[in-house]
Amino acid sequence: MFTGLIQALGKLKPLGNDQFQISCNSTNSHQILSDLAIGDSVAVDGVCLTVVSVLPQGFVAVASPETLNRTTLGKVPDAAVNLETSLRAGSKLGGHFVTGHVDAIGCLAASTPTANAWVMRFAAPATANARWQRQVAPYIVPKGSIAVNGISLTVADCDAGGNWFEVAVIPHSFSETNLCYLQPGSLVNLEADILGKYVAKFLRSGSQQMPETWEEIPANSLGGITPEFLAEHGFI
């Protein structure tokens, strides 16, 4: 489990097959390396990986075929990646609960600087639209949480079907993560809020046509939530 608050930047180098070397040379690397041990979990661009070897300035991690297929790992040579060690009991939870299990790949559609932030719009790349619609779109809501490359961000705006969403990124988050390296078309890892997934499953529990897995939920299947429903259940 992670928080979505990035601790350092690293460089990702494929070693062949399912192994990656992550080099940590940023000024904040001590937050990753100070007590890193074999078997530890580290979020690499939002992907939970297991450390199999500790290096003087980094570590080696292994990724499963499913992880390689579902994420951006290895798709960009020498990519700058966001790093976060796993959440410890008693630690501050400044972001939101991030599992490190990526739902789908998205891409940067546009990045617009404003007076005090960057407004970044993300959408589904053409080759991943179906997965986005099943696994991400139903859980994108205004003011909700989403992890982009492992970064805990708040949805500032989105369309009704969840086909795109915008986030407002403050200067610190922009400069201290790999968001500053993204260009329109750059691919990113997306993880929808785990709490939203459980709420959706709870709301479906009484349905006679409940899908076998949460991944089969259509993007428009949660339209029954109304102000009256929320008031009846104590949310208003």
83 or 125, greater pLDDT: 83
Reported as a pLDDT band with limits 50, 70 and 90, residue 60 is very high
Q: Which residue has the tokens 């530890």?
A: 40
pLDDT confidence of residue 214:
47
Helix (H) or strand (E) holding 146: strand 145-148
How high does pLDDT run on average in the chain? 86
- Quick one: average pLDDT of 149-160? 94
Q: Does domain 8-85 have CATH number 2.40.30.20?
A: yes
Domains 8-85 and 103-236 share a fold: yes
| Residue 227: partners with Cβ closer than 8 Å, 6 or more residues away | 236
Q: Which CATH number fits domain 103-236: 3.90.550.10, 3.30.830.10, 2.40.30.20, 3.40.640.10?
A: 2.40.30.20
Q: Which residue has the tokens 């970064």?
A: 151
Long-range own/partner contacts, residues 116-120 (CB < 8 A, 24 or more apart): 116/170, 116/171, 117/168, 117/169, 117/170, 117/171, 117/174, 118/168, 118/169, 118/174, 118/179, 119/156, 119/166, 119/167, 119/168, 119/169, 120/166, 120/167, 120/169, 120/179, 120/182
The pLDDT of residue 236 is 53
- State the pLDDT confidence band at 215, using cuts at 50, 70 and 90: low
Rounded to a whole number of angstroms, the CA Rg of the chain reads: 18
- Tell me the pLDDT tens digit for each residue of 21-43: 999 987 888 989 999 999 999 99
Residue 232: pLDDT over 80? no
pLDDT tens sequence across 115-137? 999 999 999 886 767 888 888 98
pLDDT of residue 76: 84
Average pLDDT over residues 196-211: 70
DSSP class per residue in 87-108: P-TT----S--B-S---EEEEE
Q: What does the block give as tokens for 183?
A: 């260009």
pTM above 0.85, yes or no: no
Residue with tokens 């890193």: 36
Domain ranges in the chain are 8-85, 103-236
The pLDDT value recorded for residue 230 is: 65
Residue pair 211/218 in contact (Cβ under 8 Å)? The answer is: no
Pair of tokens at residue 84: 């976060």
